[in-house]
Chains A and B, each alone.
Chain A
Amino acid sequence: MTTVSPSLRVSELAYAYPDGTQALFGVDLTIGRGERVALLGPNGAGKTTLVMHLNGILTAGHGSVEVAGLPVRKDTLGEIRRRVGLVFQDPDDQLFMPTVREDVAFGPANLGVRGPELELRVKEALELVGLPDVIDRPPHHLSFGQRRRVAVATVLAMRPEILVLDEPSSNLDPASRRELAEVLRSLDVTVLMVTHDLPYALELCERSLILSGGVIAADGPTRDILGDPGLLAAHRLELPYGFVVADRPY
């Protein structure tokens, strides 16, 4: 293990909803700086609940979450939310300002960034997702794929330690899906990708975790996990029809 604090460390995280439903039963995971990791799991496995803990929207019933060494607590929420960039599944939920420029500026402006520095952050983030030209457009005039990429830009503008994406490939047509993959691959940031899309996980993430029944059921190279039909079947995960994981990459 390295001496630098990992981007994300979750230990013994357990959580029950107020109605008593237990969603997480002791989750342990560590994600090193610069890693791209896929979090796989069937519906109802607790993926969203786990994600909500990463930036303190939900607070741990038991256990702890640390982002680059900083524990998630009430008094650290501001900094935690800067460090963890959450990209929601529906870009219409994420893009709520009248123009792309204001939306991308929203996060850094909340951090107190103003003036030319703010303008720079907005341009830089849109540049990173390959959409510098849409800056003055209203979000609802963009295509779905563009909206998803702008949603990524809105959190990149906060210069996060870790980017957490909820089902990034959902509802994208093949070209938008590839464009997003290219963007994600080009970023110099730790990525945690929550997904059902196993080929997308294989394409982008060297490592995968399976969250099932509220615990981490598997943790290893994506290639090994997807190559184990028994493991996948045990957790209601399936590769698309006709899809075979090649023995050697490309």
Chain B
Amino acid sequence: MGAGHRHQLYRPGNTVVHRLPPQCKLPAVAAFAVVVVATPREVFWAFGVYALLLAAVASVARVPASFMLRRMVIEVPFVVFAVALPVIGLGERVEVLGLSLSAQGLWAAWNILAKATLGVMASILLAATTEPRMMLLGAQRLRLPSLLVQIAMFMLRYMDVILDEMRRMRVARESRGFAARDVRHLPVLAKSAGALFIRSYERGERVHLAMLSRGYNGSMPIMNDATASARSWATAALLPAAALATAVLSWSVS
């Protein structure tokens, strides 16, 4: 019960990318994303370079392409939105394979698709090489708002507990002959959700009491505030730096 299953996004390994301190990786990925977004959409080759950079990181981290592709399903809603743009877009129309599409919409769709895909790929790489726990540690070391970090930490800790509770409630419902088949069963599910919320809320109160009992006074004590070496920072900066060089070049030619 409550048995652990590894977090799906993480892919254990012992490469340079895995070993980099989380407080270096987080800003590196964020900086990479900013540079990508700041690149003019007309400079196609720059996006190709970015993709190559990410591919290089992935190969160093030994994250296979199939792993990346499977995780990229998360991007589908954006893709759908982007595909709609050329159809519903206004302005000058162009003929593509017999379809009349908006030129502006096409540019917008390309812009969203290219930039979002690169951003998602960078995030997947970060998640694949950094344990969720380490990610939070990195956020804490970067002095991000402690309340937000604490909320994320508790979510991580109690997700399994709450899922387990949810599963027990489902088993209890089904043991008494309930099966959700159509809309008329929604009220029952809604009540279950409400009960789950109240249980979780009460657990929150008990956890808070337990924290107070051990001297909690509003902020988490920082216990392992290891500083990263200049070398780690330099290694992590390689990706955004290479991207920035590409972007600068693209600004000057566009």
Are A99 and B217 in touch, CB under 8 angstroms? no
Q: List 11 A-B contacts (CB under 8 A).
A: A81-B214, A86-B213, A88-B210, A96-B158, A98-B133, A99-B133, A105-B221, A107-B215, A110-B216, A140-B2, A141-B3
Report chain A residues within 8 Å CB of B157.
96-98, 138-140
Asked if A93 contacts B210 (CB within 8 A), the reply is: yes
Are B161 and A78 in contact, with the CB atoms below 8 A?
A: no
The reply on B207 being an interface residue by CB < 8 A is yes
**A98-B133, A98-B153, A138-B4 are known contacts. Are A111 and B206 too (CB-CB below 8 A)?**
no
A185 CA to B157 CA in the complex, in Å?
31
In the complex, besides A57-B212, A99-B133, 20 extra interface pairs with C-beta distance below 8 angstroms are A57-B213, A81-B213, A82-B215, A84-B213, A86-B213, A88-B213, A90-B206, A92-B161, A96-B211, A97-B157, A98-B156, A105-B223, A106-B221, A107-B215, A109-B223, A110-B217, A110-B221, A114-B223, A138-B4, A158-B215
Residues 55-66 of A, flagged 1 when their CB comes within 8 A of B and 0 if not, give: 101000000000
**B207 partner, pick from A82, A96, A109, A141, beta carbons under 8 A:** A96
Chain B positions near chain A (C-beta within 8 angstroms): 2-4, 133, 136, 153-154, 156-158, 160-161, 203, 206-207, 209-217, 221, 223
Which of B133, B154, B210, B216 gathers most chain A CB within 10 Å? B210
Q: Summarize B's interface: helix, strand, loop or mixed.
A: helix
Looking across the interface, which residue of chain B has its beta carbon closest to that of A154? Answer: B214
Which of A90, A96, A118, A155 lies at the interface centre, i.e. has the most chain B CB atoms within 10 A of its CB?
A96
CB distance from B196 to the nearest CB of A (A): 15
> Taking the nearest CB of chain A, how far is it from the CB of B200, in angstroms?
12
Per CB-CB distance, the 10 closest pairs between chain A and chain B, nearest first, are: A109-B221, A110-B215, A107-B214, A141-B4, A93-B206, A98-B133, A86-B213, A94-B210, A140-B160, A81-B215
Q: Which chain A residue has the least Cβ–Cβ distance from B2?
A: A140
Contact A106 B214 (CB under 8 A): yes
**Cα of A154 to Cα of B161 in the assembled complex, Å:** 20
Q: Which residues of A contact B4 (CB under 8 A)?
A: 138, 140-141
Residues A57 and B223 in contact, CB atoms below 8 Å apart: no
Tell me the interface secondary structure of chain A in the complex: helix
Contact of A110 among B3, B207, B209, B214 (CB under 8 A): B214
Query: Contact string, A65-90, partner B, CB cutoff 8 A, digits 1/0?
Result: 00000000000001001101010101
- Known contacts A98-B156, A158-B215, A93 near B221 by CB under 8 Å: no
**Which residues of B lie under 8 Å from residue A84 when comparing CB positions?**
213
Report whether B213 and A93 are in contact in the complex, using a CB–CB cutoff of 8 Å: no
Min CB gap B147→A, angstroms: 15
Given the complex, which residues of B lie within 8 Å of A105, measured CB to CB? 221, 223
Considering the chains assembled together, what is the distance between the CA atoms of A106 and B133 in angstroms?
16
Inter-chain contact B213/A55, CB cutoff 8 Å? yes
